A and B are shown apart, each in its own frame.
Chain A
Amino acid sequence: MKNMERKASKKTPVIIKYREDYLFMLPYLLVFVVFTVFPVVVAMLFSFTRFDIVQLPSFIGLKNYFRLFIEDSLFPLALKNTLLLAVITGPGGFFLSLLLAWVLNEFSDKLRAVLTMLCYAPTLSGGAYMIWNIIYSGDSYGFLNGILINLGIIYSPIQWLTDSKYMMVSAIIVILWMSFGSGFLSMIAGFKNVDRTQYEAAAVDGIKNRYQELWYITLPSMKPQLMFSAVMSITNSFGMGDIITAIYGFPSSNYALYTLVHMLQDYGNTRFEMGYASAIATVLFLIMVLSNHFIQKLIRKVGN
């Protein structure tokens, strides 16, 4: 049967040979192309135009990009904040999720489900991050200030939400707290998917402790989940704009938490400069694609 298929493949065109596969993919790809690929491509084309939504877009070449890179004085700041947040919260969230998923895997199914839910709670309850408004509250009644003053670490309340010295740190804590999301769940499921006989074989082969077991057995067999989580970490850590706006307001004081997402939402939703907003979105997209490329290369090396 296999031979026959091989023989046939020389003559029949691929579309016939793999017709069942293409047929399987067709429904999803149709929806995906219409509602995801098409809008993204159109948005990228917008970035070469001046487009105010009222009038039709007019082609202006690379002007939006020149404006962004050379003239816009807020762009370097937004870029710096975006990268700083992403570099800390991306890997931070990724490794915290991995550590937690690994530890949770040690427990029986029921305990694991309960503990997973408690840790996933910030993501499960949509607007739960608003609680940080109370924790960070600037008067001495704020949770954090209250505790620190009682412990004698500080003497007067710190303005966590408005003092630009502390805003970056406090935002990073919130984002890390939110980082046990879809990537975390996929890791939990991934640990369950590891072939159990491998552990028994490894014990015979002289794997001494759980750390060796993790590095040599578990992680290499769940590379696909690691890659998925890495992509989720990238999209989350670069796209945190809404949560920052909800807690720190827009614009955040001194623009201390002004990111590329804020910049493009500002131009897209408020000023209706769609062409310029699209250029910012495209730049942000390219940064994320590059970091994804780099991270996927790193993950391929796991366990070697």
Chain B
Amino acid sequence: MSENISKIKQIHKLLKTKQISCKELTSKYLDAIDKYNNTLGAYIKVTDELALNAAEKVDEKVKKGSELLPLEGIPVTLKDNISTNGIETTCCSKMLENYIPPFDATCWDIIKSQNGILLGKANMDEFAMGCSCETSRFCKTSNPHDLSRVPGGSSGGCSCAVSANLAAYALGSDTGGSIRQPASFCGIVGFKPTYGSISRYGLLALASSLDQIGPMATSVEDASIIYDALSIKDEKDSTCFGNVNGPTQIHLNKDINGMKIGLPKQYLEGINKDVSDSIFKAIKVYESLGAKIVPLDMPDIKYSLPIYYILVCSEAFSNFARLDGIRYGHRTNSYTNLEEFFSNSREEALGEDVKRRILLGTYVLSGKNYEHYYKKALKIRETIFETFEKAFKECDIILSSTVPQTAFLHNFKPEDQMEAYMTDICTVPANIAGIPAISIPCGTDSNNLPIGMQLIGNSFCESKILNAAYKFEQATFAKNHKSINMGVNL
């Protein structure tokens, strides 16, 4: 098992050796979605016709004996904030319930050009605001490891689908942990690459300076294959540089003897005991592989969360201003003037969390607050860049837990809003600094729920964290991998 845990490679092998046709494989996935989606709520839209058509093209290529492209014939789901030409892209909001974009996001364009098999669009928290997938307009999504629990969020539909084998991989988006936290909750790999490595064109923006698209998969190798295929410079996204350091796959199996792994004490504060036990076991594994553990002190990290909320809310306030009911989206029936038209359309169609953040953003950018909050946040952001830069002079990668806890129960109401926001505490700094971070499974808690470990790297040093993650996975896969008896077993 451990020598071939890449699902993408497995599928390509099955297709090339004609043990299964792509059409059969696709049908298997579609049947599994049909069977399990009512229980799991991973998908909000299934695109069976599109999937089967693409599969046919793949089968023709296999028949001709042509080489398969990296993502060719691989069944995938996309988070519903990634634009798909001609297919609803709703962000799971009433506001965009019937919105159909007339263009493709660049990442989906690449997958489509490789005959990737889009099975459907995955559930998410409304406009990617949330950590449980429960603010979705459409349905509740459950954690395949325990149906009474949430899959995490906001890319919860993706993590659920991948972990329950209802897709070989997924693309999610991560603004403050929205790929890594649900990956951690569902026991899969979630990878947020460097800001600007995968084009954001076509991703419905939450916070433009923090958003990043990334792969969610069942293995590190798959995450690496997907990253290599999608990290291409895109003229349509001026902030996108592509993969400046070349393919990551060739680095996966490098010896990590002597690699310096930083352990900032700030990341270990206030985390659940099962989680911290698991992290310390992981550290032992790395030590046995020859890595050197370097204790770090990064006091400025604690400002990440407050400035994160200032930046996210400010940018979201502005990004969501286009949802005014004029050109597309929900439009109110009750208005007597323009101002009522705008405010009633938005009032009727946007959820509580979305409104709360828009209002916060409006507030922190108003008048003198701009100086007191927004400008100050930008300054602190600079400090956090420097903090990481300094840290990476002392170590190659940084290790922490992904989330301070494991998946919580549905309808869990934290004592106050701040407590809910705290789940992001370990994931947010990487977004603030724009650096790559991956969450990989590293054990289970007393309820047998998956625990995730996070590895953070310096800008465009995805190879290093993928290398370290791969080595860990190779060493522990049999022990940490908790297979789910659902979906498609290859």
A joins B in a complex:
no
Interface residue ranges, A against B (CB under 8 Å): none
Residues of B within 8 A of A (CB): none
